[in-house]
Amino acid sequence: MTYEFITVNPQAQKFVTLIQLNRPGELNALNRQLMTELSSALRELDADEQVRVIVLTGNEKAFAAGADIKEMADATAIDMVNRDQFATWDLIRKTKKPIIAAVSGFVLGGGCELMMNCDLIVASETARIGQPEIKIGVMPGAGGTQRLTRSVGKALAMEMVLTGRFITAEEALRAGLVNRVVPVEFYLKEALMWAQEIAQLSPVAVKLAKEAVLQAFNTSLDEGLLLERKNFYLCFASEDQKEGMKAFVEKRKPEFTGK
Ligand code: HXC
């Protein structure tokens, strides 16, 4: 499939696909078409055995400056209900393979929410992260009040959501919102290196582990622990588990096939 507002490099590295948001003139503002393209690309990649890890990036100036304000400006509430454009975001959240965000520049509004849908986040030192919707008379609508609060806690989330203040990459790192901060020339390289590292592991175990960690946001501790235990047992149905443990005993590097 060809896309207008994203580019997909299916084999950026072996088993690693790079998706780049590509509306540079609008600071990668997330219009409906871009989000539909992104969710459809992710659905395809999730089903492709040659893909184990996905890296999602924008450009140095902007990961994404939010949902497309011009596209929404004249909408009525009923237009918004009928379009239900944020429903596509659920498809992104449901991607089973790990997604690493490589962000730089503006990471705002829906851009911050998109980043928070990813599993690991590498930020450039130049990243400016915020939920500025309050300044245009609305509020976050795709996880900014929920995921942000769970990540950084009430104090900082409330400040960001109620004032629209942007935080720096360093502040985001200290608050636990991103995993790593690196100079701007390295943020994408770092994310790709990380992707390569995870792509060497068992894709079965990686998927089951991702599912279990995300479950921590959704259930009681008892239910979460139960899913974790079942996923752990399920690993033993894979050839990768046999290979991983055998390789350990034989003191060699395992070769995981995803079977
Ligand atoms: C549409 C946008 C845009 C956006 C930038 N542009 N952000 N277009 N929607 N969210 C466009 C500008 O109109 C302009 O196009 C071009 O990109 C460059 O932007 P400038 O403003 O000229 O750049 P600069 O002066 O450097 O300021 C950068 C900025 C500012 C601080 C990021 O653009 C800004 O405040 N953007 C909006 C940020 C925001 O409020 N995001 C939340 C959106 S609501 P032209 O054609 O004029 O040159 C949201 C809701 C999410 O995300 C709900 C769930 C998904």
Angle between helices 239-249 and 203-215 (to 10 degrees): 110
- Mean pLDDT confidence for 18-34: 97
Residue of 5, 26, 38, 126 best suited for mutating to test ligand 1, as the one with most atoms within 8 Å of CB? 26
Q: Which residues line ligand 1 (CB under 6 A)?
A: 26-27, 29, 65-70, 86, 106, 108-110, 113, 132-133, 136, 140-142
Whole-angstrom Cα distance, residue 109 to residue 93?
17
180-182/106-108 β-pairing = unpaired
With a cut of 90, say whether residue 12 has pLDDT above it.
Answer: no
Told to judge if 133 belongs to the known catalytic residues of this protein, a careful annotator would answer yes
Burial 123-138 (b: 16+ CB within 10 A, else e): bbbbbbbbbbbbeeee
| pLDDT per position as a tens digit, 224-259 | 999 999 999 999 999 999 999 999 999 999 999 999
Told to judge if 67 belongs to the known catalytic residues of this protein, a careful annotator would answer yes
| pLDDT per position as a tens digit, 163-205 | 999 999 999 999 999 999 999 999 999 999 999 999 999 999 9
Residue of 27, 32, 38 best suited for mutating to test ligand 1, as the one with most atoms within 8 Å of CB? 27
- Mean pLDDT confidence for 125-146: 97
| pLDDT per position as a tens digit, 31-82 | 999 999 999 999 999 999 999 999 999 999 999 999 999 999 999 999 999 9
Count of other CB atoms within 10 angstroms of residue 231: 18
Q: Are 119 and 39 in contact (CB under 8 A)?
A: no
In this prediction the pTM is 0.96
